[in-house]
């Protein structure tokens, strides 16, 4: 199985599919091609959330604002998964979530056909080859150089002070839910009550539909973090927050 993820929208992902299917008859699974465009951090968040649902696979992921520069090409063995993409931090949060056992390789590649589309010319052929020949080639073929030097992406940690938790909005999802870095466990014992979010009282609830249409709530999302939401509306608008914004929760 070979999964594909990118920020390419349409129609560039098809060129990656063609390049792969010209080399292997792998089962292709589209993860998404609408990762936040050119936003390596937000894209890394989503890959971290999604990849662990998959069985062992080769995961090709490309969000690559540095395409054509000297940024390296990375192949990561994470347990029984292999992740392939640019060495810009994109793959690391997902790899760490998949396994504690990570081996990283820089990959030498021939001068590709283009300097602007390594997805088609470098990453897709590489993922196809790893799928075809197995993860063993990472250790066996001298194009692959084992390394401990690679880019990473980290997410800010929330902090606590005097009963308040200060965190950040990491991403906003397609429904408008503002997903924070605050672990859902801080709401333990507070669900069903009101909590203070950025100075205003908001109900903490288990489900979106526990409040009226258009009403705000805080809940614990599927990523186990605190999420600012509006039932059948957009939390980002209801709370006036976006990625990177500060969120202060006061729990009485």
Alpha-carbon distance 102 to 93, whole Å?
11
Residues 211-230 that bind a copy of itself (CB under 8 A): 219-222, 224, 227
Q: Does 66 bind a copy of itself (CB under 8 A)?
A: yes
The interface region with a copy of itself, picked from 27-35, 101-109, 147-155, 242-250 by CB under 8 A, is: 27-35
Alpha-carbon distance 6 to 103, whole Å?
23
Q: Rounded to an integer, what is the distance from CA 53 to the centroid of its chain?
A: 13
Count of residues that bind a copy of itself according to CB under 8 A: 63
Q: Does 49 bind a copy of itself (CB under 8 A)?
A: yes
Residue 50 tokens read as 């999604």
Q: Does 108 bind a copy of itself (CB under 8 A)?
A: no
Cα separations (Å) of 225 from 32, 171, 186, 220? 22, 11, 9, 5
Q: What does the angle CA 13 – CA 18 – CA 20 come to, to the nearest 5 degrees?
A: 95
The interface region with a copy of itself, picked from 23-31, 90-98, 143-151, 161-169 by CB under 8 A, is: 23-31
DSSP 30: E
Q: Does 115 bind a copy of itself (CB under 8 A)?
A: yes
Of residues 60, 120, 140, 164, which one binds a copy of itself by CB under 8 A? 120
Q: Does 193 bind a copy of itself (CB under 8 A)?
A: no
How much is the CA Rg of the chain, to the nearest whole Å?
A: 20
Q: Does 160 bind a copy of itself (CB under 8 A)?
A: no
Q: Which of 174, 214, 212, 210 is nearest to 193 (CA)?
A: 210
214 φ/ψ sector (left φ>0, alpha ψ -120 to 50, else beta): left
Q: Does 69 bind a copy of itself (CB under 8 A)?
A: yes
| 31/197 with CB nearer a copy of itself | 31
The interface region with a copy of itself, picked from 72-80, 141-149, 200-208, 238-246 by CB under 8 A, is: 200-208
199 φ/ψ sector (left φ>0, alpha ψ -120 to 50, else beta): left
- Interface residues with a copy of itself (CB under 8 A) are 1, 3, 5, 8-19, 21-22, 28-35, 37-38, 46, 49-55, 65-69, 113-117, 120-121, 173-175, 206-210, 219-222, 224, 227, 231-232
């Amino acid at each position: 199985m070979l999964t594909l993820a990118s920020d390419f929208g349409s129609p560039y992902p098809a060129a990656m599919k063609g390049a792969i299917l010209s080399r292997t008859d792998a089962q292709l699974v589209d993860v998404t091609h609408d990762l936040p465009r050119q936003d390596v951090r937000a894209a890394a968040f989503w890959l971290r959330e999604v990849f662990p649902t998959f069985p062992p696979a080769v995961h090709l992921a490309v969000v690559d604002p540095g395409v054509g520069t000297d940024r390296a090409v990375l192949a990561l063995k994470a347990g029984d998964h292999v992740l392939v993409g640019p060495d810009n931090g994109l793959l690391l949060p997902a790899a760490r979530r998949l396994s504690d056992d990570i081996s990283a390789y820089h990959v030498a590649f021939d001068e590709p056909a283009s300097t602007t589309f390594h997805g088609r010319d470098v990453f897709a052929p590489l993922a196809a080859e790893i799928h075809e020949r197995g993860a063993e080639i990472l250790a066996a073929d001298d194009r692959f150089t084992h390394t401990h030097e690679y880019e990473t992406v980290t997410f800010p940690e929330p902090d606590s002070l005097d009963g308040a938790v200060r965190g950040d909005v990491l991403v906003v999802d397609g429904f408008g839910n503002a997903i924070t870095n605050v672990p859902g466990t801080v709401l333990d014992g507070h669900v069903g009550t009101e909590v203070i979010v950025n100075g205003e009282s908001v109900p903490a609830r288990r489900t979106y539909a526990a409040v009226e249409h258009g009403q705000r709530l805080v809940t614990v999302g599927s990523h186990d973090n605190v999420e600012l939401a509006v039932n059948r509306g957009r939390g980002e608008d209801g709370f006036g927050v976006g990625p990177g914004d500060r969120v202060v929760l006061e729990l009485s």
